[in-house]
Amino acid sequence: MHSIRHLAIIMDGNGRWAQARGLPRSAGHKAGINAVHKVLRGCDEHKIANLTLFAFSSENWRRPRNEVRVLMDLFLATLKKELNILIEKNVRLRFVGDISAFDTHLQHRINQAEYQTEGNSGVSLNIAVNYGGRWDIVQAAIKLAQQVREGVLEPEDIDIEKFGASVCLSELPEPDLLIRTGGESRISNFLNWQLAYTELYFTNCLWPDFDVAALEEAVTWYAGRQRRFGQTPEQAKAAT
């Protein structure tokens, strides 16, 4: 069975989970934090070294102001409350996305959390905030263009490998499996570059209901996939 070195998740369905219970949407986001803990435990069990979660997209600013505020408050409260637990669990926490748009207090907490967990050797937990896959590709293009301007890179030397080294999370293996909860079957501008060969798993389960058993189901589904990376089924079989 091929292993999962990197799992990416679009955590969708918090609002509907709450509404189905007559609760405010914020209650769904809070319940979503419990699901994150469960998945972290599952990653330990399945020896998944890297977990990347889509917590706030660059498009989520379009939500009602109050919901955006609730989400920001929740990120801040979660960082304060959970950082010690993550340190105890040996988790390395990193954020991907343009955090310069956040309030300075939150930016400070984010930097501090990254710094305090930098040396941890357990699961590497990457939280995508104010992240968009197209933004990521554009910021990579800007980096490369700057190198061209500085005279350290020739335009014709830009290739897939160099470009890939400039997008976020380039130091990690690309995601082997993407899980999207909440019943939609789309990528929604998440890791557009990095998901080129990723197996995509969509489930109707709402994010707050996602638990170790639900992860198990996704992992079992993944184990049955044949990853061909453009080769024929026979070639791919011979390569495994």
Cβ-based neighbours of 36, under 8 Å, separated by 6 or more:
11, 53
H or E stretch at 187: none
Q: Which stretch binds ligand FPP (CB under 6 A): 31-39, 88-96, 196-204, 211-219?
A: 31-39
Asked if residue 41 binds ligand FPP (CB under 6 A), the reply is: no
Asked if residue 36 binds ligand FPP (CB under 6 A), the reply is: yes
Least distance from C-beta 223 to ligand FPP, angstroms?
Answer: 26
When binding is defined by CB under 6 A, the residue of 7, 8, 13, 40 that contacts ligand FPP is: 13
Q: 157 an active-site residue?
A: no
Asked if residue 12 binds ligand FPP (CB under 6 A), the reply is: yes
Question: Given the complex with ligand FPP, which of 147 and 189 has the nearer CB atom?
Answer: 189
Structural contact between residues 44 and 122, judged by C-beta atoms closer than 8 angstroms? yes
Asked if residue 33 binds ligand FPP (CB under 6 A), the reply is: yes
CA distance 29 to 33: 7
Site mask, ligand FPP, residues 51-70, x = CB under 6 A? --x-x----x----------
Could you give the C-alpha distances from 44 to 8, 113, 148, 210, in angstroms and in order?
Answer: 15, 20, 42, 16
Structural contact between residues 148 and 171, judged by C-beta atoms closer than 8 angstroms? no
Q: 12 an active-site residue?
A: yes
Site mask, ligand FPP, residues 123-162, x = CB under 6 A? ----x-----------------------------------
Q: Which of 44, 60, 120, 209 is catalytic?
A: 60
Give the DSSP letter string of 30-47: HHHHHHHHHHHHHHHHTT
In what order do the strands lie in the sheet containing 199-202?
Answer: 92-96, 124-131, 50-57, 6-10, 177-180, 199-202
Structural contact between residues 35 and 11, judged by C-beta atoms closer than 8 angstroms? yes
Which positions from 206 through 235 interact with ligand FPP, judged by CB under 6 A? 207
Tell me the three-class secondary structure of 124-145, residue by residue.
Answer: EEEEEEEECHHHHHHHHHHHHH
When binding is defined by CB under 6 A, the residue of 4, 9, 15, 131 that contacts ligand FPP is: 15
Task: Please state the φ and ψ torsions of residue 224, each to the nearest 5 degrees.
Answer: -90, -5
Which positions from 74 through 93 interact with ligand FPP, judged by CB under 6 A? 75, 78
Q: Tokens in use for 134?
A: 């197209």
Q: Which of 12, 50, 126, 176 is catalytic?
A: 12
Question: Given the complex with ligand FPP, which of 23 and 158 has the nearer CB atom?
Answer: 23
- Binding residues (CB under 6 A) for ligand FPP: these are 11-16, 29, 32-33, 36, 53, 55, 60, 75, 78, 127, 182, 207
- Residues identified as active-site: 12, 60
